[in-house]
Amino acid sequence: MDRSVLWKIKLAPYITIGLLIVNVVIFLLMEITGSVDSDYHIFRWGAMLTSAVSEDGEYWRLFTSMFLHFSFEHLAGNMLVLFALGTVLEKGIGHLRLALIYFIAGLGANVLSQIWSVRADEEILSAGASGAIFGLMGALVFAGLFAREWMGALSPGRIALMLLLSLYHGVNEGIDNVAHIGGLILGFLLAIILLKIFPGRYLYERRGW
């Protein structure tokens, strides 16, 4: 196979695309088997409920809730930002680093949200990929400001545009600000670890893109 074709395959954002497909397929399955408008239905599929996690020990909901959405608008908004951020980040920092940031930040954001709800004595039903997506945003902020060597020829203007899109989405979604902020901070910290402390090697050839 031609080397250029192999290189294009290597740079393809298949983690981001895979996450998009999984989220969409799960949403469609939920609609086929019931309705995402039903709190009980989305709870059965694995949404986070404060008491279910803290009292019943259903900690797996901290993970499964990352793939569930309350409406088509909720799903579409999250997937749009995931695509915008994920494709750029994955091309720059690599598939494994993007996956680690996405899942660790998303899980950590849900843990912080759960702790906040317990301390506030609130019973909250929550779901969505926003915490993980804000983790990618935090990583992009760090890479854009302090690790430009990872982002190739990506212009500061394009980075700023994606961040504005993400922030607009996050503010207007108005679902779980604790998860959003937590994901953002965790993504930033994870980027420090993965891009500066344990950088490994660059994914792309050092000629820009």
Q: Grade residue 17 by pLDDT with cuts at 50, 70 and 90.
A: very high
Mean pLDDT, the chain, integer? 85
pLDDT, one tens digit per residue, over 188-201 is 999 999 998 887 75
Which ranges of 34-155 would DSSP assign to H, the alpha helix?
Answer: 39-44, 50-54, 61-64, 72-93, 95-119, 130-146
Among the listed ranges 6-15, 73-82, 150-159, which one has the minimum average pLDDT value? 150-159
Residue 49 is predicted with a pLDDT of 96
pLDDT surpasses 60 at 153: no
Residue 4 bears catalytic tag? no
Where residue 202 falls (left for φ over 0; alpha for ψ -120 to 50; beta otherwise) is beta
pTM, whole model, 2 decimals?
0.88
Q: Where are the domains of the chain?
A: 3-197
Among the listed ranges 28-42, 69-83, 136-150, which one has the minimum average pLDDT value? 136-150
Where residue 152 falls (left for φ over 0; alpha for ψ -120 to 50; beta otherwise) is left
pLDDT surpasses 60 at 116: yes
Cα 159 to Cα 85, 178, 182, distances in angstroms: 9, 24, 21
Instruction: In whole angstroms, give the CA distance from residue 46 to residue 62.
Output: 9
- Looking at per-residue confidence, does 45 or 10 come out higher? 45
Report the percent of the chain where pLDDT is more than 70: 79
Of 130, 155, 166, 169, catalytic: 130
Residue 203 is predicted with a pLDDT of 46
β-strand pairing of 48-49 with 125-126: antiparallel
Q: What is the DSSP letter of 66?
A: G
In terms of Cα–Cα distance, which of 167, 143, 158 is closest to 94?
Answer: 143
Residue 130 bears catalytic tag? yes
- Looking at per-residue confidence, does 160 or 146 come out higher? 146
pLDDT surpasses 50 at 205: no
Cα 146 to Cα 67, 141, 142, 196, 203, distances in angstroms: 31, 8, 6, 9, 18
Q: What mean pLDDT is predicted for residues 23-43?
A: 95
Q: What mean pLDDT is predicted for residues 61-82?
A: 93
119 contacts 84 by C-beta, under 8 angstroms: no
Residue 151 is predicted with a pLDDT of 74
Find residue 48's DSSP bridge partners.
Answer: 126
Q: Does domain 3-197 have CATH number 1.20.1540.10?
A: yes
Instruction: In whole angstroms, give the CA distance from residue 73 to residue 26.
Output: 15
Of 69, 95, 169, 180, catalytic: 180
For 49, list phi and psi in degrees, rounded to 5.
-130, 130
